[in-house]
Amino acid sequence: MQLTNKTILFLIGTAMLLPLLGLAAWLWQRFYRDDESNTARRVLKNSALPIVATLINKIVDLGFAAVTLRALGLSGNGAYSVVTTIVSLYLVTITNWGLNDLTVREVAADHTRARRLFSITLLLRGGLSLLMAPVAALIVGIYQLIGNPLSAASVVALAVLVLHLLPSSLAAACSASFQAFQRMEIPASIALVTNVLKVLLGTLMFLLVQDVGERVIGLAVLALVVTLFNSIIFFVLQQQLLFRFRLEWNWLEARGLLREAFPLMLNSLLLGVFFKFDALILRGYGNDAVVGAYDAAYKWIGMTQIIPPYFVAALFPVLARHAATDRPALLRTYRQAATLLQLLAWPLTVGVMVLSPQLILLLGGTAYLPAAAVALSILIWYLPLSYFNGVTQYVLIALRQQHALTVAFGLATLANVTLNLVLISRAPATGYVFAAIVTVITEVVLLLPFLRILRREGALLNLLALMWRPALAALAMGAAMLAVYNLGPQGLLATALAAPVYLAALWVLGAFGTEERALLRRVLGRT
């Protein structure tokens, strides 16, 4: 890898984010005034700034991904994506054990429990982290047994990433505390700072290390270093802004937390299985190159997941309170949140499908075409249902329906794994097509039991009513984009046309009703 002019500009731009972030944080603390009586505005406060920070974070990530995809190549990228999938989606999920959501729910209801819950959950997370080493070894053994072993670099990288679970546990416990106190801007800002550090050190590593295998290991070491830095910052800020740490332990309470959080952990684990377990199956039947192409498509999918997690996380304490005291308010908040997410999901879906070749070319270069573009154009159709299922999941958690959620995720996971095993095994070289299709189908399978649970709880929304206007407006947008796609370089004219056409179509279709306008005015603090 050479230090090109583009790389230099990217590094300078990334480094400049740090003082800009500091200025933004100072201005926010200086001028923002909260309003405890305005729920909509509090949700905006606890989601808008984190969303902006995460958007910047993802843009930086994409820039670094472009560097990484070219530095590793198809096979190297596939090798690293397999081990990161194992750790970030599965081992981290087990380590966290659903304790984040449980902590947020309990502390949001009673802030005096924050210090005690933090101590107990931190110790639980640490113990679980130590148990992940034999699990990782078992996974390595499975690939060995099926005759398609992981590369030596992948195994070393996996071992290093297992070590990073301990500091990651501390960071996760602190993040849950900030979320419970509705201070989501803090985790988002920390993530941005540490990501900038990762980009700068990672690019330096690529310049110094030329071997692809060593680069894979280097990325894992970098993740460990950055996570250590991240956890230290989190802990210090928690001491200063929330509460002082005091070691507390009660085995009976810890056992109760593990038991109550188990369905949440299992739900998240099952979600991880049907979200990206297909990559592990692709690796089992194919090779690192196939996984590398599929992972390139998922880089863009990750960009579409910026807003929902922070929006729903900010909304969750509100949902939890309404579920306990005011069911009509819960339904109203749920409907408004689902509506807003559908308004966002449909233009993203259609726009990404139209621009998928250019998006992959921009990110990874010609080496990733056409496979990654094909995968992306199919994968993106999971988005509308994913956004709806995401907010619905937290509504059901607020209603204390964790066990019912587990059944729903179990059914979706069973469908996902079964279909992937059957379809990918028949055509491993093009398995990414089947993997993408199955991802979309899985969201449909998950939706069906969700609807049944909602009907039983009296919280069923009219999904067709939520979707038809943004879907139709997005299709009109897509038609306009395709009409001018070849008139501008790199699809730029089509991209510029997207937003105006979509907004105009929404207006014509009457998507901005009285309730939506009232919500907007309340968010802005005008009522």
Tens of pLDDT, residues 16-52:
555 655 555 555 555 555 555 555 555 555 556 666 7
**For residue 68, which amino acid is it?**
T
Distance between CA atoms of residues 142 and 150, nearest Å: 10
Q: Does any domain span residue 385?
A: no
Question: Which residue do the tokens 């069906």 mark?
Answer: 448
Closest CA to 354 of 465, 478, 175: 478
% of the chain surpassing 90 pLDDT: 39
Distance between CA atoms of residues 99 and 93, nearest Å: 10
Name the average pLDDT for the chain.
84
- Selected residue with higher pLDDT from 525 and 497: 497
Distance between CA atoms of residues 419 and 497, nearest Å: 38
Q: Does any domain span residue 136?
A: yes
Q: Which residues of 305-329 are buried (b: 16+ CB within 10 A; e: fewer)?
A: bbbbebbbbbbbbbbbbbbeeeeee
pLDDT band at 419, cuts 50/70/90?
Answer: very high
Among the residue ranges 167-181, 229-243, 386-400, 483-497, the one predicted with the least confidence is 483-497
pLDDT band at 399, cuts 50/70/90?
Answer: confident
The helix/strand/coil state of 38 is coil
Q: Does any domain span residue 151?
A: yes
Q: Does any domain span residue 235?
A: yes
Question: Does the pLDDT at position 297 exceed 90?
Answer: yes
Q: Does any domain span residue 510?
A: no
- Please give the structure tokens belonging to residue 270: 């099952």
Distance between CA atoms of residues 161 and 85, nearest Å: 11
The pLDDT value given to residue 525: 47
Contacts 24+ apart (CB under 8 A), 255-262: 257/99, 257/102, 257/117, 257/120, 257/121, 257/124, 258/97, 258/124, 260/102, 260/402, 261/97, 261/98, 261/99, 261/101, 261/102, 262/97, 262/98
Question: Does the pLDDT at position 14 exceed 80?
Answer: no
Domain that holds residue 220: 1-249
| Angle between helical axes of 99-109 and 251-285 (0-180°, round to 10) | 140
Q: Does any domain span residue 238?
A: yes
Q: Does any domain span residue 95?
A: yes
- Selected residue with higher pLDDT from 336 and 3: 336
**For residue 476, which amino acid is it?**
A
- Please give the structure tokens belonging to residue 159: 């071992």
Contact between 305 and 55 under an 8 Å Cβ cutoff? The reply is no
Total domains in the chain come to: 1
Question: Does the pLDDT at position 360 exceed 80?
Answer: yes
pLDDT band at 523, cuts 50/70/90?
Answer: very low
Q: 489: exposed, middle or buried (C-beta count within 10 Å: 0-12, 13-18, 19+)? A: exposed
The pLDDT value given to residue 524: 46
Distance between CA atoms of residues 183 and 65, nearest Å: 29
The pLDDT value given to residue 488: 65
Instruction: Give the alpha-carbon dihedral of 393, 276, 216, 362, to 10 degrees.
Output: -90
**Cα torsion angle, 327, 328, 331, 336, sign:** negative
Distance between CA atoms of residues 250 and 315, nearest Å: 30
Maximum CA extent, the chain: 67
- Selected residue with higher pLDDT from 104 and 438: 438
| Angle between helical axes of 288-303 and 431-456 (0-180°, round to 10) | 40
Mean pLDDT of 249-270: 86
Q: Does any domain span residue 100?
A: yes
**For residue 98, which amino acid is it?**
G
**Cα torsion angle, 109, 232, 125, 245, sign:** negative
CA angle (75 as vertex; 69, 77 as ends), nearest 5: 35
Residue 428: CB atoms within 10 Å: 18
Among the residue ranges 3-7, 254-258, 488-492, 514-518, the one predicted with the least confidence is 3-7
- Please give the structure tokens belonging to residue 290: 């196939």
Distance between CA atoms of residues 63 and 51, nearest Å: 18
| DSSP H stretches of helix in 286-326 | 288-303, 307-325
pTM for this predicted structure: 0.81
